[in-house]
Chain A
Amino acid sequence: MAYSDKLIDHYENPRNIGALDKNAEDVGTGLVGAPACGDVMKLQIKVGVDGLIEDAKFKTFGCGSAIASSSLVTEWVKGKTIDEAETIKNTDIARHLALPPVKIHCSVLAEDAIKAAIADYRAKITKKAEPAPPGEAAVAEAK
């Protein structure tokens, strides 16, 4: 199977490999896929006070197309607001990397990963903005 130069470049020189502190309030983490299916992506975003994604990191277990797809989206989301990042479509990823038809699922997984990371970030923000009801807080403190 012949892969595009862009795909091979992302596979050989993956951008933004690594991990951010998943417990930090300004970090959203998405973990999607399943080992039994042969693909697992972990994608993390760090959102600045200005609302822009200032850093993104990934780790991926999967084929070259999966690695390239996740590497590409970490590049794309940087500098975007989370609303903008949320509009990234799997078809854009597939087109940019010229994924063969049997590898389209890799781009779908990358889209899922970014959505999951954003959802995780939003959940943290919401929790912070709306303090837990007094009853729950008391329980938490008691622990």
Chain B
Amino acid sequence: MNAFTQIRRNDQPIYLDYQATTPMDPRVLEAMMPYFTYKFGNAHSRSHAYGWEAEEAVEKARAQVAKLVGADEKEIIYTSGATESNNLAIKGVAEFYKDRRNHIVTTVTEHKCVLDTCRHLEQQGFSVTYLPVQKNGLVDLETLRSAVTDKTVLVSVMAVNNEIGVIQPLAEIGKICREKGAFFHTDAAQAVGKIPLDVNAMNIDLMSISGHKIYGPKGIGALYVRRRPRVRLVALINGGGQERGFRSGTLPTPLCVGLGEAAEICLKEMDAEAKRLTKLRDRMLEGLQAKLPEIYVNGDLDHRIPGNLNISFAYVEGESLMMGIKGLSVSSGSACTSASLEPSYVLRALGVDEELAHTSLRIGLGRFTTEQEVDTAVDELVRHVSKLREMSPLWEMAQEGIDLKSIEWAAH
């Protein structure tokens, strides 16, 4: 098994949506299999070999996860995924320290599960500051510094954005938080295994980790919770007191094993994979730019994970483009498939014009993406963008030299 193996069937579209989810690495599945069948014990059974065997497996996996982010294994709590980790980190800290500090700082481009958790806390009486981001998608450190007060209990800033792939200055944010005595939580679902992370060097106090974004199984994630200086949390799920009391419930041994194996593979192959994906991403962008005028990359291209492109194809609406490129599975930034006609809130936060936001696609490359798939994708995108521009009244007007902004459009 190597990174160039094609795992999709030939009748399936080319998968270019690695920020949505990743296929499980066959090596991960192999490691998990025995724990579904004959190694089925409950990791919390202390009285027999089945239990000991399962416990050993989940603890080995915990150490594998810890090593990937430079943590101690005792600081890793298993959860059902990054959404639960984000909920536990933010609600848990807010609740525990509410008598002393009741202010949270986050950014407007966070994942919905962070934003929604913060909204929930606002209703509970906490105050939340939503920081804007710059045009490149990165938070301005001085703005952040001035937002953190002696009432701020937690700063929650995502490591890598799920739509535009930009990497926030984690070490700098961590330093500010440490100086100000606020805890630093980062939603690292899109960052773990893609870029080097070190919870100590970056002064990260809490970190959310997802299994299925790192070629592991769905339904498992983890939360890193710092022990020194200690971060305390109020649990969301009460019960038998597993996971240091932070998260009760029987551990899903096969999923834990899968998360651990996935983490170990990421640690081993991260450098080589990053180089390979950077090359593929450059190949894709250069291929598109060579044949299509007026395409724009959203978000900083330098401070970005290798496997992400978010491109606006001006004058072509994103959803119609997705309908055309049937051989490719990508994601639209226009979100027009939902009931709302609002384009992506992340692109809007960057100050991308609404008309351009409607033309954007998120293209995610990953471990199993091949050069041939990239070339096919470029061809298909070029063909369909060109076809749709031919039928776009906006493209026609732009070619005639009409400034689209000079027209009074009737909003509907």
CB of B290 within 8 A of chain A? Answer: no
Contact with B along A19-32 (1 / 0, CB 8 A): 10000000000011
Query: How far is it, in angstroms, between the C-alpha of A98 and the C-alpha of B354 when the chains are bound?
Result: 28
From residue 200 to 233 of chain B, which have CB atoms closer than 8 A to chain A? none
CB of A40 within 8 A of chain B? Answer: yes
Report the minimum CB–CB distance from B13 to chain A (whole Å): 16
Report whether A31 and B317 are in contact in the complex, using a CB–CB cutoff of 8 Å: no
- Complex interface: stretch among A55-63, A85-93, A126-134, A135-143: A55-63
CB of A36 within 8 A of chain B? Answer: yes
Number of interface residues of B (CB under 8 A): 30
Contact with B along A26-66 (1 / 0, CB 8 A): 00000111111111111000000000000000111111101
Report whether B354 and A60 are in contact in the complex, using a CB–CB cutoff of 8 Å: no
Inter-chain contacts of A58 with B (CB < 8 A)? 391
Inter-chain contacts of A66 with B (CB < 8 A)? 317, 320
Contact of A17 among B338, B391, B404 (CB under 8 A): B391
Inter-chain contacts of B124 with A (CB < 8 A)? none
Report the minimum CB–CB distance from A99 to chain B (whole Å): 13
From residue 101 to 123 of chain A, which have CB atoms closer than 8 A to chain B? 102, 105, 108-109, 112
Report the minimum CB–CB distance from B313 to chain A (whole Å): 11
Report whether A35 and B409 are in contact in the complex, using a CB–CB cutoff of 8 Å: yes
Number of interface residues of A (CB under 8 A): 32
- In this complex, the member of A11, A61, A62, A66 whose beta carbon has the largest number of chain B beta carbons within 10 angstroms is A61
Report the minimum CB–CB distance from B314 to chain A (whole Å): 10
- Complex interface: stretch among B41-49, B62-70, B373-381, B392-400: B392-400
Closest to A62 in B: B317
Query: How far is it, in angstroms, between the C-alpha of A39 and the C-alpha of B341 when the chains are bound?
Result: 10
Binding site for A on B (CB under 8 A): 315-317, 319-320, 323-324, 334, 336-339, 341, 343, 353-355, 358, 390-396, 404, 409-412
Binding site for B on A (CB under 8 A): 1, 3, 11, 14, 17, 19, 31-42, 58-64, 66-67, 102, 105, 108-109, 112
